[in-house]
Structure 1
């Protein structure tokens, strides 16, 4: 067999459509673009979703849901990948050095997928129940990360404190005006009257 004997499989290469080659071809004069108008011109494309200037459908409908920014800095690691990390203590930094997570990742969760073949200790990494059982079965242990960071003092108001502050602000000011003031006690003896006597 020679190289010149080789050829593509039948039907694997389709001939390019040649337009503007006579009316007998079916794509002759207007080349399939129709008569006049923006869409028949060179570069006359219209962006997807454009409705001629009226408010398009995707802007008329209300927005729904949101995209969490926490997902940008969170990664998942399989239990089988823990075997690739050097050392017995595995942290986020050691996972980064092993090339299992990227530089911007700040939180990691280990999922049960595959076996753990050696004894490892996880520090500051969250794990699922199944992954924790697999790690402990291999003789390792898990020291999980703290659940949440401390919030600023301004945002730490309890519900009771907020409710009390709201009730105090909405209390009617007329209540204080209606309460009668205590009368000043009269002097038992007027000094001017005593002098006259």
Structure 2
């Protein structure tokens, strides 16, 4: 240890100036807050997204598009994925219940099967929706498809 390596303990020194401690602080009587107004007062907290009376950005921007309230969201599985999952989880039947039990979907999700990839295993499908290509590919292997409502 040499004299030029000495440093004060962490927390022992203060670099920031203490605001609101008079003229000698170097920040004047208003403590860098300007004169009067809401922001100069103690206890001031601005609301999130408040723009000081200016028209807020979400009201300045135009609305775009359309949200369909009747849209149905599906958890999508391709035939290639189903082939891997049937091997991994030893599935004979691909149903909403089986997929939920194995932690692949949430309880309220609907399942749709698409035709991307190859299916080699004969499986029974009990799902909410199937594409036409996927249905023909499943039936070509000897599997069955049942649409559950």
TM-score class, shorter: 0.5 to 0.7
Q: Give 1:133's aligned residue.
A: 136
Residue of structure 2 in register with 1:102 after alignment? 106
Of Structure 1 and Structure 2, which has the larger fraction of its residues in helix?
A: 1
Give unpaired runs (5+ residues) of structure 2: 1-14, 18-25
State the 4+ residue runs in structure 1 displaced beyond 6 angstroms: 43-46
Shift of 1:85: 4.9
The structure carrying a bigger strand percent of its residues is 2
Residue number in structure 2 paired with 1:153: none
Larger relative contact order (Cα-Cα within 8 Å, sequence gap ≥ 6): 2
Structure 1: segments with no counterpart, 5+ residues: 1-18, 22-28, 147-197
Q: CA RMSD in A?
A: 3.7
Where do 1:43-192 residues align within 5 Å? Answer: 47-48=48-49, 50-61=50-61, 63-64=63-64, 65-66=66-67, 68=69, 70-71=71-72, 74-79=74-79, 80-81=81-82, 82-83=85-86, 84-105=88-109, 107-145=110-148
Aligned partner of 2:5 in structure 1 is none
**TM-score computed with the length of structure 2 as normaliser:** 0.53
Aligned residues: 115
Structure 1 length-normalised TM: 0.43
Instruction: Report if the CA contact (8 A) 1:77-1:100 is conserved.
Output: no
The answer to whether the 8 Å contact 1:123/1:143 transfers is yes
Contact 1:85 1:94 in 2 (8 A): no
DSSP 3-state at the match of 1:110: strand
User: What per-residue deviation string (whole Å, max 9, x for no partner) do you get for residues 116-153 of structure 1?
Assistant: 2310121243112332233223221222245xxxxxxx
